Structure 1
Amino acid sequence: MKVTIKDSQILKTVNPDLVQAHLQATGWHETGRIYNDAGAIWRLKKETADEYEILLPLQHNLGDYAERISDILKTLEIVENRSQVEILGEFITNYPNFTVQGAIVQITTPIIDKLSGEITFLCAVFEKLQEIKTELADHDYILAIKAYQERLPIHCIGDLVKVDNHFVLKNPRNFQIGNV
């Protein structure tokens, strides 16, 4: 089943520098710039197929930024024979109001004089199991310990950020345990 990413909020979070690095690493070549460096034209020539072209927007404030990123995902899906979801997962660096549903796999020892510590979740991020780290305190930290000990599923919302190929959940809120 093919999934087409149409959520403009998600598409707007894609950093053009990450797309550009991916294109360079996979054999694409920049052939020009348009509209005072608002976009870059990238081309790939495959021996067994026609030439492919991508228009990479370089400025987030462009009105059609999300649509151009969607077009890039469609082209890369064909060229790389991978799903758009898998490709997008490599490009996301931050995702505000991300819903985490999963299990706690690790809890650090609480910080001295505070009831808080680092928690590691295991959950699906763009159809791929990923570890996500976050800091919890007070009542949420106690609930996390209970969920970890009793192997209960958890649910919370926060701002997902990718740091050095690892995910971190900033501003966690609405932390709950059990089937939600």
Structure 2
Amino acid sequence: MKVTVKDSQTLETIELNQLRNYLQTHGWHEDQPFLDNATLWHKPKADAEEFEILLPNRENLGDYAARIREAIPTLENAESRPQFEILSELLTSIPNTIIQGIVMQIHTPNTDKLSGEITLLGLVADKLRKIQTSLADKDYILAIKAYQERLPILCSGDLIKKDNNAFILKNPHNLTLDELW
């Protein structure tokens, strides 16, 4: 089964510099400007043809997500890798997302109030990833219960990628036990 990525909100979060760096490190070269708002990038194929990506020059263009949506399958073909693998390298943040995961670790709680950091193991771009977050009050108590009973949780927040492919969940809210488990 071939999975395609079409969610505009997710594609809009791919930072232009991140995508440029990705192209450069994966054998693409910037070829020429295309009108005033984009640049053509090429990568040689095994035969005489080349792969081509039209990369916008700015993230605030109205068709930015559409251009990224076109680039992802081209990268998939050029690299013979699934889109989700490529997307997991390109994503640096996913605002207002819901994470389903298992609490893997409860770090030492804060002494001044009922709060502390936890580490989740959750799905991000179709791969299990470590996700760190800080919780307080009833959310922290619920996370401890989920940890002790090995129950999956659901939590909303803004996901930020760290350098080592781990993630931080900022602004966590709506933490619940996953009743569907």
TM range (shorter): over 0.9
Which residue of structure 1 aligns with residue 128 of structure 2?
A: 129
After TM superposition, the structure 1 = structure 2 runs for residues 16-165 of structure 1, keeping only pairs within 5 Å, are: 16-36=16-36, 38-48=37-47, 50-164=49-163, 165=165
Alpha-carbon distance in structure 2 between the residues aligned to 1:175 and 1:156: 4
Letter in 1 for 2:158: D
Provide the aligned C-alpha RMSD in A.
Answer: 1.3
Alpha-carbon distance in structure 1 between the residues aligned to 2:53 and 2:178: 45
Runs (5+) with no aligned partner, structure 2: none
Q: Percent of pairs identical after alignment?
A: 54
Q: Check the 8 A contact 2:154/2:177 in 1, yes or no.
A: yes
Alpha-carbon distance in structure 2 between the residues aligned to 1:161 and 1:47: 37
Following superposition, the deviation at residue 111 of structure 1 comes to 1.1
> Normalised by the size of structure 2, how large is the TM-score?
0.93
Alpha-carbon distance in structure 2 between the residues aligned to 1:49 and 1:20: 24
Task: Look up the SS of the partner of 1:90 in the other structure.
Answer: helix
Q: Cα deviations across residues 106-151 of structure 1 (Å, max 9, x unaligned)?
A: 1111112111111111011111000110000111111111110111
Alpha-carbon distance in structure 2 between the residues aligned to 1:112 and 1:39: 53
> Normalised by the size of structure 1, how large is the TM-score?
0.94
Question: Is structure 2 residue 41 aligned with structure 1 residue 5?
Answer: no
Task: Look up the SS of the partner of 1:62 in the other structure.
Answer: coil
Following superposition, the deviation at residue 57 of structure 1 comes to 1.2
Letter in 2 for 1:95: I
Q: Check the 8 A contact 2:45/2:78 in 1, yes or no.
A: no
Following superposition, the deviation at residue 49 of structure 1 comes to 5.4
Runs (5+) with no aligned partner, structure 1: none
Alpha-carbon distance in structure 2 between the residues aligned to 1:64 and 1:96: 20
